[in-house]
Amino acid sequence: MGSNYTNETISQRLDFTEWNKEKWKDFGEACFYVLLSFAFFRILQYIVRWYLFGKCYFRTFSYFVYRRRAGSERNPAADSTTLSAIPPNKKWRICNEIVSLLHAAVSGLWAGYSILVYQDIIKDMINYRHPVIVNLIFVSTGYLLHDLLDLLINERSVRIIELLFHHVVVLTAFATTQVTGMFLGIVIFGLLMELNSVFLHSRSLLNLYGYDKKSTPFKMIALLNMVTLLFFRLGVSIYLMYWLLTDCIFRAWYFILPCFFVIVSLFCTNTVLAYRVMAADGWFGKNRARQPSRSVATENTAVEEEDDEDKSSSDDERDDVPNGVSVTRPDGQQLVANGHAPAHA
């Protein structure tokens, strides 16, 4: 089932004063499904947190405050590379990555199924519509809103900038296709990139759990991550760029503008992502390779450590800073993240 929208009907679809009762009903249903998806992923996030760590909330860590504090103590562990390799908010990151992995698996397979079964979407990237594909947009919109909220609450680092940009780009694409009733083909091809995200999030989890990069599980995940990144991120980005230059470029400006913004933004972010992953895995030399997090099998302060609510404030502070980093409390007591009390002067 497809729908045809001419250039003349675009302004009519954007004119909300012309919407009839049926269009407002469809809009209300879309909002309901998005909110339902959002609630599902929020609840799932708390379930994962409780199952893994026995609590639903973690104390927010601020990278910027830590940089100032550690910098004032001339602590070399304040380097951004260390924080990217050993995130102090590791427990939250693990839970966030797991939920993201589950969404990536569902949405990536759903997008692949949609393209294989409803192949007319390849022939008409702008006007083709189908309820099965539209429902995927509802689910992914709810997830992105959940993840955006989760990032704003828990992430206080430079990492959040690129993540927020990515989320804004994708949410813009989702909103455009829902309001105009067009560009569904572009969005569904973009969601094919989630097939790579399955291995990207798996790789991040192995890093967070401190797996050796020379181990067989890490090598397998890293290989699958690179293969799917080349095919489903860079390959899809190049195809969309080709479509933009050979098809969309000859259409009206209001076709070109949203397509150009989304496609070029995704192409740039995917190119940067590919470089960073290759550099982290040592493709550009050992000097640029990222060191893994400390192993959970060799340290008592790994992610399995108990972090109950009745812990003292000093325990909480040790849990949220990298190993070997000292932090001075307001009362003057010095804490060390390796779990041992500092020696008295």
Calculate ∠ Cα 233-234-240, nearest 5°: 90
Whether residue 26 is predicted with pLDDT greater than 50 in this model: the reply is: yes
Could you tell me if 326 and 309 are in contact, meaning their C-beta atoms sit under 8 angstroms apart?
no
Quickly list DSSP for 252-310: -HHHHHHHHHHHHHHHHHHHHHHHHHHHHTTTT-GGGSPPPPPPTTT-TTSTTS---TT
Q: At residue 315, does pLDDT exceed 50?
A: no
pLDDT in tens, 212-223: 888 999 999 999
For the segment 143-160, the average pLDDT, to the nearest whole number, is 87
> What CA–CA distance (Å, rounded) separates 186 from 203?
27
Of residues 12 and 235, the one with the higher pLDDT is 235
For residue 11, pLDDT over 80 is answered with no
Instruction: Transcribe 170-201 into DSSP letters.
Output: HHHHHHHHHHHS--HHHHHHHHTTHHHHHHHH
Which of 119, 125, 127 lies closest to 4, judged by CA? Answer: 127
Residue among 328, 270, 337, 311 nearest 53 (CA): 311
Q: Which residue has the higher pLDDT, 148 or 305?
A: 148
Decide which of 27 and 285 is more confident. 27
The fraction of the chain above a pLDDT of 70, given in percent, is 68
User: Which band of pLDDT confidence, cut at 50, 70 and 90, is reported for residue 231?
Assistant: very high
Q: How many angstroms separate the CA atoms of 161 and 183, rounded?
A: 26
Higher pLDDT among residues 179 and 345, named by residue:
179
Helix (H) / strand (E) containing 156: strand 155-156
Nearest to 98 by CA among 148, 174, 44: 44
**Phi and psi angles of residue 328, each rounded to the nearest 5 degrees, phi first:** -100, 125
Cα separations in angstroms, 302 against 146, 199, 296, 320, 322? 27, 23, 5, 11, 10
Give the tens place of pLDDT for each residue, 193-207.
999 999 999 999 998
* pLDDT, averaged across the chain: 77
Counting every residue written for the chain, the total comes to 345
Assess contact for 207 and 283: CB atoms under 8 A: no
**Is pLDDT at 164 greater than 50 in this prediction?**
yes
8 A C-beta contact, residue 97 and residue 171: no
Which residue reads 């989304």 in tokens?
A: 262
Per-residue pLDDT averaged across 160-185, rounded?
89
Q: Which helix (H) or strand (E) holds 328?
A: strand 326-328
Confidence class of residue 141 from pLDDT cuts 50, 70 and 90? very high
Q: Which of 16-30, 184-198, 322-336 has the lowest mean pLDDT?
A: 322-336
Tens digit of each residue's pLDDT (9 = 90 or more) over 61-98: 665 555 555 555 555 444 444 444 445 678 899 999 99
Express each pLDDT in 242-291 by its tens digit. 999 988 888 788 778 888 999 999 999 999 999 988 888 777 766 655 55
Q: Tokens 């380097």 map to which residue? A: 79
**So what's the pLDDT on residue 13?**
55
